[in-house]
């Protein structure tokens, strides 16, 4: 019996609609174009094309580079029709999964050094994300990227991701500045509610 299709299945099918890929290339492209909005483990990504083939939405063939064999997947007409149907279905909104924020939310059960270290790691990660996004945006502006004919829809998602990364960096810098004046993680030990934290 064919395995059930998921959003990850349709993400892979969407990439196959762009062009045929090996599973290795699909993973690279997922890392490049979808990791920020739909992160998935590499092992999952290697299984999805097989699932699509089971459903008749993709087909595969072998290609050789010397003796090295690669399986290349491409979308079928049935796959394009399924992708169009999926695009017509209502989509779920964003879900935030942010382990460091959970640690910040319960920092009053630890010490100030732990909280400051968590915020420093968030800021460093945000700086990395902002730099990577800036480099990608520069690439799109200068060359149009690898798929310039897709640039209008890429721009819609890229703008949100850029603003999200900028927001994360601003928040981390703000939180670090606030916590820099604390002497503990609770009101009794020297934490205070930041001015305007709950209002504009």
Residue 195 forms part of a structural domain: no
**What is the reported pLDDT for 2?**
54
Residue 62 forms part of a structural domain: yes
**How many CA within 13 A on the CB side of residue 170?**
6
Asked if 71 and 110 sit in the same domain, the reply is no
Residue 154 forms part of a structural domain: yes
Mean pLDDT on 61-71? 92
Residue 99, token pair as written in the block: 């382990």
Asked if 68 and 122 sit in the same domain, the reply is no
Residue 40 has pLDDT above 90, yes or no: no
Of the three residues 47, 64, 88, the one that is the final residue of a domain is 88
Residue 129 forms part of a structural domain: yes
Asked if 108 and 183 sit in the same domain, the reply is yes
Asked if 115 and 177 sit in the same domain, the reply is yes
Q: For the chain, how big is the Rg over CA atoms in Å?
A: 22
Residue 196 forms part of a structural domain: no
Range(s) of the domain holding residue 157: 99-189
Mean pLDDT on 157-166? 95
Residue 94 forms part of a structural domain: no
Share of the chain above pLDDT 70, in %: 99
Task: Give the neighbor-by-neighbor strand order of the sheet with 21-22.
Answer: 21-22, 68-75, 58-65
* Residue 58 neighbours by CB distance under 10 Å: 24
Asked if 182 and 107 sit in the same domain, the reply is yes
Asked if 107 and 72 sit in the same domain, the reply is no
Give the separation between CA 7 and CA 45, rounded to whole angstroms.
Answer: 12
Q: Is the dihedral of CA 83, 86, 87, 93 positive or negative?
A: negative
Number of domains in the chain: 2
Q: What tens digit of pLDDT does each residue of 106-117 get?
A: 999 999 999 999
Residue 1 has pLDDT above 70, yes or no: no
More reliable by pLDDT, 96 or 104: 104
**What is the reported pLDDT for 199?**
86
Asked if 26 and 82 sit in the same domain, the reply is yes
Q: What tens digit of pLDDT does each residue of 105-153 get?
A: 999 999 999 999 999 999 999 999 999 999 999 999 999 999 999 999 9
Q: Band the pLDDT of 36: cuts 50, 70, 90.
A: confident
Asked if 155 and 129 sit in the same domain, the reply is yes
**What is the reported pLDDT for 142?**
96
Asked if 47 and 67 sit in the same domain, the reply is yes
Asked if 80 and 111 sit in the same domain, the reply is no
Of the three residues 57, 88, 119, the one that is the final residue of a domain is 88
Give the separation between CA 63 and CA 22, rounded to whole angstroms.
Answer: 9
Asked if 115 and 66 sit in the same domain, the reply is no
CATH of the domain at 44: 1.10.10.10
Tokens 């604390």 correspond to 182
Residue 122, token pair as written in the block: 């968030």
CA neighbor of 20 nearest in space, from 63, 54, 51, 64: 63
Q: Band the pLDDT of 80: cuts 50, 70, 90.
A: very high
DSSP state of 71: E
Under 8 Å between Cβ of 73 and 52:
yes
């Amino acid at each position: 019996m064919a395995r059930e299709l998921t959003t990850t299945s349709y993400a892979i099918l969407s990439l196959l609609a762009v062009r045929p890929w090996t599973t290795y290339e699909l993973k690279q492209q997922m890392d490049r174009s979808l990791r920020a909005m739909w992160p998935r483990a590499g092992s999952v990504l290697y299984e999805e094309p097989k699932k699509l083939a089971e459903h008749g939405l993709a087909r595969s063939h072998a290609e050789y580079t010397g003796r090295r064999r690669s399986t290349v997947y491409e979308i079928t007409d049935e796959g394009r029709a399924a992708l169009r149907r999926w695009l017509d279905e209502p989509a779920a909104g964003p879900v935030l999964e942010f382990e460091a924020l959970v640690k910040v939310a319960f920092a009053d059960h630890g010490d100030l050094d732990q909280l400051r270290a968590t915020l420093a790691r968030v800021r460093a990660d945000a700086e990395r994300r902002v730099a990577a996004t800036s480099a990608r945006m520069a690439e799109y502006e200068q060359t149009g990227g690898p798929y310039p004919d897709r640039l209008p829809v890429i721009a819609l998602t890229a703008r949100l991701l850029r603003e999200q990364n900028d927001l994360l960096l601003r928040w981390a810098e703000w939180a670090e500045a606030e916590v820099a004046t604390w002497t503990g993680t609770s009101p009794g030990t020297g934490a205070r509610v930041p001015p305007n934290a709950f209002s504009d």
